[in-house]
Amino acid sequence: MEINRLLKIGVDKIKDRPYSNPVLEAVLVLGELLNVDKTYIYTHGEEKVPQPLVDRFLELMDKRKEGYPIQYLINKREFMGLDFYVEEGVLIPRQDTEILVEYVLDYIDEKYGDSPINILDLGIGSGAISLSLAYYRKNATVYGVDIHDTPLKVANINKERFRLDNVKLYKGDLFEGIEGLGLEGKFHIIASNPPYIARKDIDSLQREVKDYEPIEALYGGEDGLDYYRRIIPDSKKYLREEGLLVLEIGFDQGKDVVHMMEEEGFKEVKVIKDLQGLDRVVSGIKVKELD
Ligand SMILES: C[S@@+](CC[C@H](N)C(=O)[O-])C[C@H]1O[C@@H](n2cnc3c(N)ncnc32)[C@H](O)[C@@H]1O
């Protein structure tokens, strides 16, 4: 069957899905299968597609019709200008998280310039935060921890893909992942985008997220704040004096997380908003006299 005809059948299958861009998605999936880019697909409409690939394409379009995320279908998600490999079992990086990464990149430039620094990322997922920081700031040595195997596997694939030798990845439960490495008091920056969805909000997530993305990357306990309750106090042991703790949060968690950080003695605690004007990141500095 020719590319054009096949695309039309694919688009018809997925055109009623909410949150989708049927033509672009069908083009991306077919491009991935044929190992060619979008432009090739648009300019070679009369070319024949081998039958096994026709069958595979239609299978994938049926999956997409059921809400399976396009990023898992094509094993790709662009984040901070980098093409991350993703697969089922790992959170698809969100554009909102670029707010945190950009904030940290600017902070590094202002405060540390080209001096060597250590960064820790808790809950690496595909490596969105840790690997983009390591990619764009070669003076940083970035440590990353995740408790699950798939994120570690995927982040390692991405680490190889971006040829990063300034990243070290560990398996473990938050700070336990780097216990025994002598890194107490060594981090200039600790960053995390932990699971933060509250129980009451899980059901209202869109189908792509709720049915297919890993729940352990999303669920943050009854009120969504469980991870902040652990990360904020424990981070003081691993941050240097004047080290920065920076956390992604849900849009309605700013007040609570600011309060937690202030209670733990952090200074200059502030909320950074996303492009929609919603609270997205909280940051604060560890003060000298903390334990
Ligand atoms: C919201 S995702 C963030 C992934 C990635 N940093 C990003 O921004 O796309 C949270 C990640 O934390 C990991 N995680 C959950 N509980 C953890 C724990 N106790 N210790 C370490 N990682 C954990 C999950 O496996 C998941 O990869």
217 lines ligand 1 (CB under 6 A): yes
Residue type, 122: L
Q: What is the pLDDT at residue 208?
A: 84
According to CATH, what is the number of the domain 89-285? 3.40.50.150
147 lines ligand 1 (CB under 6 A): yes
Residue type, 252: D
Collect contacts of 63-71 with beta carbons under 8 A, ≥24 apart.
64/13, 64/14, 64/17, 64/20, 64/25, 64/29, 65/13, 65/14, 65/17, 67/17, 67/207, 67/208, 67/211, 67/212, 68/208, 68/212, 69/208, 69/212, 69/213, 70/20, 70/25, 70/28, 70/29
Q: Which of 147, 219, 281, when mutated, tests ligand 1's pocket best, judged by the most ligand atoms within 8 Å of its CB? A: 147
Determine the 3-state secondary structure of 252 from DSSP: coil
DSSP H helical segments within 83-141, as ranges? 97-111, 128-136
220 lines ligand 1 (CB under 6 A): no
Residue ID of nearest Cα to ligand 1 atom 9: 93
Position in ligand 1 atom list of the atom nearest CA 93? 9
Q: Is the pLDDT of residue 291 over 60?
A: no
Q: Model confidence over 172-202: pLDDT tens digits?
A: 999 999 999 999 999 999 999 999 999 999 9
Question: Which H or E run contains 212?
Answer: helix 207-212
Task: Give the whole-number percent of the chain exceeding pLDDT 90.
Answer: 94
Residue type, 209: V
Q: Is the pLDDT of residue 163 over 80?
A: yes
Q: What is the pLDDT at residue 30?
A: 97
Q: Model confidence over 14-37: pLDDT tens digits?
A: 998 877 789 999 999 999 999 999
CB 231 within 8 A of CB 257: no
CB 166 within 8 A of CB 134: yes
Topology of domain 3-74, CATH = Helicase, Ruva Protein; domain 3 (1.10.8)
As given in the structure block, the two tokens for residue 126 are: 């595909």
What's the rounded Cα separation, in Å, for the pair 273 and 283?
11
Q: Residue 68: left (phi > 0), alpha (psi -120 to 50), or beta?
A: beta
279 lines ligand 1 (CB under 6 A): no
100 C-alpha to ligand 1 centroid (Å) = 15
As given in the structure block, the two tokens for residue 81 are: 């200008």
Show me where the domains of the chain are located. Answer: 3-74, 89-285
Could you give phi then psi for residue 95, rounded to 5 degrees? -60, -35
Answer yes or no: same fold for 3-74 and 89-285.
no
Q: What is the pLDDT at residue 18?
A: 79
167-171 vs 117-122, strand pairing mode: unpaired
CB 121 within 8 A of CB 143: yes
Of 20, 71, 191, the C-alpha closest to 122 is 191
pLDDT, mean over the chain = 96
Contacts of 215 (CB under 8 A, 6+ apart): 202
